[in-house]
Structure formats: structure tokens, C-alpha cells
Copies of this chain bind each other. A is one copy, B any other.
Amino acid sequence: MKVALLRETYPGERRVALVPALIPSLAKQGWHTIVETGAGERAGFPDAAYAEKGAEIALSRTAAVQDADAVLQVRSLGANLEAGRDDLNLFRPGQVVIGLCDPLGQPQAVKELAERRVTLFALELIPRITRAQSMDVLSSMATVAGYKAVLLAANQLPRLFPMLMTAAGTITPAKVLVLGAGVAGLQAIASSRRLGAVVQAYDVRAAVKEQIESLGAKFVELKLDTADAEDKGGYAKALTDEQVQRQREQLAAVVAGCDVVIATAAIPGKRSPLLVTADAVRRMAPGSVIVDLAAERGGNCELTRADETVVENGVTIFGPTNLASDVPYHASQMFAKNVVTLLQLLTQKGELVIDLKDEVIRETLAAKDGQVQPPRLREMLNLG
């Protein structure tokens, strides 16, 4: 069997879906790896490194894809709306495509891939069950983004993060507020603590209080009445209008006292909750920094603009949408480990087998035999 690794075509994307170190374990399972030339270049993995581990280097994208049984990429069509379309004519019917494709945000892209009759695995649909953790790309990328968000903030802040007791007096530690204590939020807490900041964190799910505290942060408790704020996947659910209003008011007071806000609160497939109003930003000290990791879906801060840096009353608001790509070496290593684990689940005795009895395979399968597969997506697309 042959697996093709494609060079990413999304603007600014530096990650790659497979790293050289994993080629031998694929080979053991019967996979011959073909690498489109330059695929790993921006992540720090030159062609030679892949070749050394036994991969074949294809000098064109067409050559890489044409004989492949499976194709690996970080961003398939839905997650790469313009350049991703060029791949449609390249893929062969029946070919397995594994990548991110934003199925809940761009379901029509899944439909386009389905019409091309590829067998599409949408990495966003990996179920949040223990067995699938090792394939959960959203979690591993959130880990990287949470870390990197803290570095962005610390690098911009006119203050030091750690407390220092020096001959020139005592420097008080930076005060960081993390909004949303999912994987990115918890990593942001841990990274801020590493750098010596005093950290508070807020999440609508009271169940995460213990996790927040175990990382050395203070859990911000608001009076909202949200016993039921977590869905069965462990993600946050939406609140009522009245709860939202009280949440924003109470948060504004906390935000005003902080130097840095790392915002990570997301609701899958929906607009991100607006937690920090423009008015709350105006109450922050000049020089304060907000890194809004929810920017792609509208942001947790009212002033966030996706992929732009906004400065308002001296407060800098970053709205990065692809932060993991800025730590491309390790992000690719983790991404690749996730993807290879999934590919191995699809491999039985040297054969590519799509076993729909397997929950992970069934839930992640977005398109097959010309049909969009997940009932949720079929509903969104009115496919009955």
C-alpha cells in the first residue's frame, strides 16, 4: 500500500502531516511512503530526512497522489477553502484522504469531497473517548496553541512575568486570566505558571475547577447557576441570555485587574462565547495583552479580529487562527503521531480496511462512496 504526504498549500501553514521518524513504523505495517517534494521544509524536515527513513520523494503533487491508497495532509478542502479546491481533481475515487476539513464549519466542502468519491476522514470528528486520545489532533494542536499563546503575550507585555526580588526592588508577577479550561486553556495555565505569573482561570464547567487548581491557578467562580454546562463530549454548552449577561459583567471586573487574558473558550460548531466586552477591555491597564484563541469563530473578546492585531486604549488584542503552525516542528511531530495512529487503525494485516464497527473509524469517516456520512452533516446539508 502507498501513502502520500502532501505539501500544505494553505497560506502561512508551516506544519506537515507526517514526520520522518514515523516512516519506519508505517513501513512495518506495509505502507510505502511517498513525499511530495518540500512537504516538510517549513516545519524543519527536509526531503533528505524523509528519504533517509525510506520514503520516496515525488517531484510533483500529481506524482505523489496518483498511485496512493491514502493521502495525508494537515488541511484538506474545508480547512483550506481556496487552494484546497485544486486538490479535488487530483484525488482518485476510492482514495482515502485524512486531514482537517472543518466539517461543522464548512460542511459543503465535505460534500464536494464526497462527490469526488474520496473516502474522507475528518480529523475534527475523532471522538473524545480514551482510546482515541492518541489520534486527537484537536487536543494536540490545542496543547501547542496554549503554550504559544502565553509566549506571544509575554513577548508583547511591557512587564516581566515572574516575580523578581532584585537590588533594584521587587518586581511583582504578571496577572494572567485564562478563559476556558480545555486543553489549550490548561496548557496556557501551565505555561503561564512556568514563567512565574499569578494565574486565574474561568470555565462555565465547574467540573474543571480541580484541574485548574492542580496547575496552581485560582478558579474564578461566577454566580450564574450553570450546573449543566458540560455536554457528553466534555465540551461547554451554550448559556441562557441572562446567564450570559451576568457572566460578562462579573468577568469584566476580573479582566480589569489582569495584565494578560488568554481566551480559549469554544463551543464546537458554534460562534465562540463573547466573554470580554469592549467595555471590559477599556477597563484594562494600557499595555495589557489579550490573546484570543477563539478568533476563528468570532472570538471571546468583542474587539478581536481574526488574524489581526488590534490595539485599543493601549491594550493589544491578538486574534491568531493558526497558532500551532508557528511551532511547526513539534506541532507536526504531534500531528503526525495522531494521524499515523489513525492510519494504523485502518490497517489490518497489510490491508486498508474501513471497519465501520469501530467507533473511532465510524465517527471520523466524513465521506465514502459518494455520500456524506455523519448524520449531523447530512442534516446541515439537507441531505435527508
Cβ–Cβ < 8 Å partners of A162 in chain B: 147, 191, 194
CB pair A334–B169 under 8 Å, yes or no, is yes
Cβ–Cβ < 8 Å partners of A168 in chain B: 134, 136, 139-140, 143, 333-335, 337-338
Among B143, B158, B191, which residue has its beta carbon within 8 angstroms of that of A14?
B158
CB pair A327–B159 under 8 Å, yes or no, is yes
CA gap between A136 and B152 in the complex, in Å = 30
Is A199 positioned at the interface, with any CB of B under 8 Å from its CB? no
| A-side interface residues, number (CB < 8 Å) | 44
Cβ–Cβ < 8 Å partners of A239 in chain B: none
Among B46, B143, B154, B167, which residue has its beta carbon within 8 angstroms of that of A139?
B167
Q: Which of A133-190 contact B (CB under 8 A)?
A: 133-134, 136, 139-140, 143-144, 147, 151-152, 154-155, 157-160, 162, 164, 166-169, 171
Is A51 positioned at the interface, with any CB of B under 8 Å from its CB? no
Is A311 positioned at the interface, with any CB of B under 8 Å from its CB? no
Among B133, B157, B169, B335, which residue has its beta carbon within 8 angstroms of that of A167?
B133
A179, chain B: closest CB distance, angstroms: 22
Among B46, B157, B196, B333, which residue has its beta carbon within 8 angstroms of that of A171?
B333
CA gap between A277 and B169 in the complex, in Å = 38
Among B147, B155, B158, B171, which residue has its beta carbon within 8 angstroms of that of A152?
B155
Q: Which of A105-158 contact B (CB under 8 A)?
A: 133-134, 136, 139-140, 143-144, 147, 151-152, 154-155, 157-158
CB pair A136–B14 under 8 Å, yes or no, is no
Closest B residue to A332 by beta carbon equals B158
A282, chain B: closest CB distance, angstroms: 15
CB pair A158–B328 under 8 Å, yes or no, is yes
Cβ–Cβ < 8 Å partners of A196 in chain B: 194
Interface residues of chain A, those whose CB is within 8 Å of chain B, are: 14, 43-44, 46, 133-134, 136, 139-140, 143-144, 147, 151-152, 154-155, 157-160, 162, 164, 166-169, 171, 191, 194-196, 285-287, 314, 327-330, 333-335, 337-338
Please name 22 pairs of A and B residues whose Cβ atoms are closer than 8 Å in the assembled complex, sorted by A. Answer: A44-B158, A44-B285, A44-B286, A44-B287, A134-B167, A139-B167, A139-B168, A140-B166, A140-B168, A143-B166, A151-B151, A155-B155, A158-B329, A158-B330, A159-B329, A160-B327, A162-B191, A166-B334, A168-B337, A169-B334, A191-B195, A194-B195
Known interface pairs A133-B167, A139-B167; 13 further A-B residue pairs with C-beta atoms within 8 A, sorted by A's residue number: A14-B158, A44-B287, A143-B164, A147-B162, A151-B155, A155-B155, A166-B334, A168-B335, A168-B337, A171-B330, A191-B195, A194-B194, A194-B195
